[in-house]
């Protein structure tokens, strides 16, 4: 399978620590983490030495402000190899008002 062509997605509730509640099948193809190893955790577990602090800060800002944005970030697989993906990050609003979740659609770029 050519995993670079897959889009993966993750969903996190808009609560303290944004613990993952859903990952798509392609998330495991991208990262090596099966759903049961991702669910309940903050996605910062994907980060490592080469992860860009500015990208992490952008996640913090989008979450705090309830905004959508594109973030490119270097992350790590279960086997320790690194990859770069572009995250299309969006808030999910209930009845167009209160933000209940955040969703990210992730495309592997390297």
Query: What residues line the site for ligand FMN (CB under 6 A)?
Result: 10, 12, 18, 42-44, 46-47, 56, 59-60, 63, 73, 75, 87, 102-104, 106
Q: Quote the least distance from Cβ 79 to ligand FMN, whole Å.
A: 17
Q: Quote the least distance from Cβ 36 to ligand FMN, whole Å.
A: 18
Q: Quote the least distance from Cβ 97 to ligand FMN, whole Å.
A: 19
Q: Quote the least distance from Cβ 99 to ligand FMN, whole Å.
A: 11
Nearest to 56 by CA among 80, 37, 77, 72: 72
| Closer CB to ligand FMN, 26 or 59, in the complex | 59
DSSP string, 40-102: TS-GGGG--TTS-HHHHHHHHHHHHHT--EEEEEEEE-TTS-EEEEEEEEEEEEETTTEEEEE
Structure tokens at 78: 């279960």
| Closer CB to ligand FMN, 96 or 107, in the complex | 107
| Closer CB to ligand FMN, 2 or 88, in the complex | 88
- The answer to whether the beta carbons of residues 20 and 106 sit under 8 Å apart is no
């Amino acid at each position: 399978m050519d995993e670079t062509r897959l889009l993966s997605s993750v969903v996190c509730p808009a609560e303290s620590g944004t613990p993952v509640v859903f990952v798509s099948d392609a998330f495991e193809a991208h990262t090596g983490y099966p759903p049961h190893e991702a669910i309940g955790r903050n996605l910062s577990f994907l980060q490592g030495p080469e992860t860009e602090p500015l990208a992490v800060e952008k996640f913090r800002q989008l979450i705090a402000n309830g905004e959508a944005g594109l973030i490119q970030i270097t992350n790590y697989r279960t086997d320790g190899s690194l990859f770069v993906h572009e995250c299309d990050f969006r808030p999910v609003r209930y009845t167009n008002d209160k933000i209940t979740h955040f969703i990210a659609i992730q495309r592997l770029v390297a």
